[in-house]
Amino acid sequence: RRVGPPGPSAAAAHFRPLGDPHNGPDVLAHLLCLCPNHHVLFDLGAFTIEEDLALDGHPGTLKTTPKHAISSDFIAYHRTHYGTK
């Protein structure tokens, strides 16, 4: 979340891009809520998420909530296609 003059902002980032050639679904288990800057970095593969929710390429750990379950399959997809390892 980023706070600017009009207030906080966030963007929905997808683990697997929606368009060709990835064709990811637009479902809640496939979304991350990120600030606009981190959304761009995530889309470019500047960081990915490990199985234990640690961030690879950026300090920290992904924070989750029971109301928003994230699919481990989508996390693995992003790591496979955008990871640095």
Which residue, chain included where needed, has tokens 């989508």? 74
As beta bridge partners, residue 12 has 33
Question: Taking residues 6-32, what's their average pLDDT?
Answer: 89
Overall pTM surpassing 0.75 (yes/no): yes
**Which pLDDT belongs to residue 10?**
82
Structure tokens at 62: 């992904």
Q: What's the CA gap between 33 and 16, in Å, rounded?
A: 14
Q: How confident is the model at residue 25 (pLDDT cuts 50, 70, 90)?
A: very high
Is the pLDDT at 41 greater than 90? The verdict is yes
pLDDT single digits (tens) 65-80: 899 889 999 999 999 9
Q: How many helices (H) and strands (E) does the chain have?
A: 2, 6
Is 60 exceeded by the pLDDT of residue 55? yes
